[in-house]
Chain A
Amino acid sequence: MSILLSEEQQAIATESTRVLEARVDLSRLLALVETTGEWDKRFWDTAVEQGWTAIGIPEAHGGIGLGLIELGLVAQACGAATAGAPFLTSGHGAVAALLGSDDAESRSLWLPRLADGSVTAAVAFAEGQQPLPASPTTIVCAGKLSGAKDGIPAGLAADLVLVWAFAGSEPCLGLVEGAHVVRTPIASFDNARLHADLAFAEVPIRVLATGDRAHALAHDVLARMAVVSAFEQVGGAEALMRTARDFALTRKAFGQPIGAFQSVKHRIAELYGLVEIARANCIHAASREGQPDFVEAAASARISATEAYDTAARDCIQIHGGIGVTWESGLHLHMRRARSLAIEQGNMLYWEDLLAERLTGFAA
């Protein structure tokens, strides 16, 4: 894939941005922050209606057969609007796992339903502070899964859970139906992400891959989701950079727009740089899907996008002064989302270590 966007890809970016700008409602998003267990159902309806759930799924399975770049461009529009049900990214994770497995039956069963949005998925890899533990304590024995996964985004409501577990002496990747999962909601700083602790008590699991195959597939799924999240982070960071710019042009102090002061204008120019570096890394990573250097590219996208979004959240609020810290300004929605996205799909420490390992041969 080229790192130059085609006309079709640019149209996806423009159209998803237009749809979300027309439908996003700040007051609804603010209300969601204070409610545990609720998510933006109107956004989800939009995602389904626009076919965003079907993007990465082959046409033979009811999807539209596009790739990581198109997923990324939609995620970028979602990020700009702090829109998004958490399923959008994790659904793509489940799709990637199904497509990477040999389980044709599960593919036929789930892909069409993931494509039409009638089924949602969560990805439960993390345990404790480890995004993808080498030795998961969640155990598969005689086709049943036992254990717990804490703090799983989308975990509270997903119909399917993709689980990273241990089966005997080797890792495995499998699907558990939501009905078998005991979920405990977490009151979090970004409630709309539906974070939950999941418990499995000898519940049925459909194993998709085991051993080295499962290991490679889980890493690939996480890297793909990380690229989608990185696009979402870029969308958020860019929106904040533009918001800061617009505010600096209109807000006056000491007889001139505050954007005429270098302390302000340079801060915004620095954000522009962080956003463009992260965006370039995201597009590059999407173009390296399936290549040997995909993990390095995904890590670079993730690291630079996390830095861009966190910095943009800090600086945009700072540039707004007092109004920036109010509830109604909504800037804290981005600040919250910047941090929740930074943790989902592996935190900065994880990606730095993984990238350093690929570059130096030394594991952390």
Chain B
Amino acid sequence: MSDLEAYRGRAIGWLDSVAASFGRAARLGLTEGDDLSLGRCYMAAKYEAGFAGINWPVEFGGQGLSPLHKVAFDTEEMRYGMPTGYFSISVGMPVPVLIRFGEDREWVQERVTRALRGEEIWCQLFSEPAAGSDLAGLRTRAVPDGNGWSLTGQKLWTSWAQYCDYGVIVARTDPAVAKHKGLTYFWVDMKAPGVEVRPIKLAGGDSHVNEVFFDEVKLTDAQRMSPVGGGFAVAMATLMIERYVATDSGGFGPHLDLFIDLAREIEVGGKAALEDGRVRSAIARNYAMRSGLEAITRRAMLMMEAGMEPGPEGSLNKLFSVRSRQKLSELAIDLQGNAGFAFDPHASVKEDWTTSWLNAPTGRIAGGADEMLLNTIAEKILGLPQDHRPDKGVPFNQIPA
């Protein structure tokens, strides 16, 4: 057995031992506040057990292992439905960036430990009303103010900002240069005067994302994490930091087995749904697609284990799996006929087809819209030309609104 498989075995052993306290069943019926408290306890337990910060440096409370060990643990952890969602952005991107770019190392160390233990949560303040896929078009501005900066503007789609202690933020410090050249990267205290968080209710009924308003919020220059005007590069580094993440060929929706279980109980035109060609075709196509995506992931892992650079095809998972989840969820609801109208707003996206269907569009937008992923494949992998960009090289303050 390889070192990695032995590690996976130990991870499963520990996850099994705490599943009753923190897993899917333990969370059933909890309010969000209670679930968050349970999540903080889980993060602390994970830290004590030595499964936190798996691929982070030991001096920052990490385990000093490879990204593969982290992916192995995350892949197993995903099966238990543990309350990790509140912390996944925090320890996924802002905190690793803090480790890399934070100036005051002692302060950074304390933040990292607290974040790993679930005591503090960090958010990532990038998107804005006028800057989604086109991140460099952001308008929140930081202007010099004494020895520091004053921050004013609005961020959007900030996950879990309502529970966050700190955030990393990109703001415009020079509107007179081309849009991606006038940006600077800071960290910000989410409890500081002038910060206001307003949750946004999403189509599925939950409110894990927010708008965040900044009204002349004071920043010291020590909160700056990039050179002035060098924020875009750090923002890109943030988005690239989790290059190897646990993927789900089901597009983070229910597994195909659950679809088969559902179809097993249903008749179409007086015969078993599983005998219906349309249902069989959907099952077979979904399986074949997932099987291919999983083989791509396995190959990437093997390549990394062998010290090779995995191919770019790893980027296909989100693009293909979420669209497929949408179609399968629609068919699952369709199969139930009028019984399919019923809806439980508290059901899990991993177990309930209607919840999966209602929340799936987010998966095609967040973390890179389908269209942006296709552009990346076309341009970076296939060498096709960039889109025509009329604002290219134009000073930000001269781009027509």
Where the two chains meet, the residues of A that have a C-beta atom closer than 8 Å to any C-beta of B are: 2-4, 245, 248-249, 256-257, 259-260, 262, 265-266, 268-270, 272-273, 276-278, 280-281, 283-284, 296-297, 299-301, 303-304, 307, 349, 351-353, 355-356, 359-360, 362, 364
Contacts and interface: CB of A to CB of B under 8 A. Distances in A.
B295 A4 contact: no
Given A297-B291, A364-B275, A276 B382 contact: no
Chain B interface secondary structure, helix, strand, loop or mixed? Answer: helix
Interface stretch (B121-129, B161-169, B231-239, B282-290): B282-290
Interface residues on B, range: 35 or more
Given A3-B298, A297-B291, A262 B274 contact: no
Chain A interface secondary structure, helix, strand, loop or mixed? Answer: helix
B388 A260 contact: yes
A361 to B, nearest CB: 8
Contact of B384 (A4, A265, A284): A265
B264 interface: yes
Contact of B316 (A277, A303, A364): A277
Given A249-B384, A360-B260, A280 B296 contact: yes
Contacts of B316: 273, 276-277
Interface stretch (B1-9, B135-143, B372-380): B372-380
Nearest to B386: A260
A359 B285 CA distance: 12
A3 B381 contact: no
B318 to A, nearest CB: 11
B105 interface: no
B272 interface: yes
12 contacts: A2-B302, A3-B302, A262-B387, A265-B375, A266-B378, A270-B374, A280-B292, A280-B299, A280-B313, A300-B288, A352-B285, A360-B274
A259 to B, nearest CB: 4
Contacts of A268: 378, 382, 384
Interface in B296-331: 296, 298-299, 302-303, 306, 313, 316, 319-320
B306 A4 contact: yes
B371 interface: yes
A257 B384 CA distance: 9
Contacts of A269: 374-375, 377-378, 381-382, 384
A262 B375 contact: yes
B385 A281 contact: no
Contact of B287 (A349, A355, A362): A355
Contact of B387 (A3, A260, A283): A260
Contacts of B291: 281, 284, 296-297, 300, 304
Contacts, number: 141
Given A260-B387, A265-B382, A265-B384, 19 more contacts: A4-B302, A4-B306, A248-B384, A249-B385, A257-B385, A260-B388, A265-B379, A266-B371, A273-B319, A273-B377, A277-B292, A280-B295, A284-B291, A303-B288, A304-B292, A353-B284, A355-B284, A362-B272, A364-B280
B337 interface: no
Contacts of B378: 259, 265-266, 268-269
B33 interface: no
B302 A284 contact: no
Interface string B76-92: 00000000000000000
A324 B288 CA distance: 30
A262 B369 CA distance: 14
Contacts of A248: 384
B384 A272 contact: no
Nearest to A308: B292
B151 interface: no
Contacts of A280: 292-293, 295-296, 299, 313
Interface in B243-295: 256, 260, 263-264, 272, 274-275, 277, 280-281, 283-285, 287-289, 291-293, 295
B29 interface: no
A283 B296 CA distance: 10
Given A2-B302, A256-B388, A356 B274 contact: yes
A40 B275 CA distance: 43
B400 interface: no
B383 interface: yes
Nearest to B316: A273
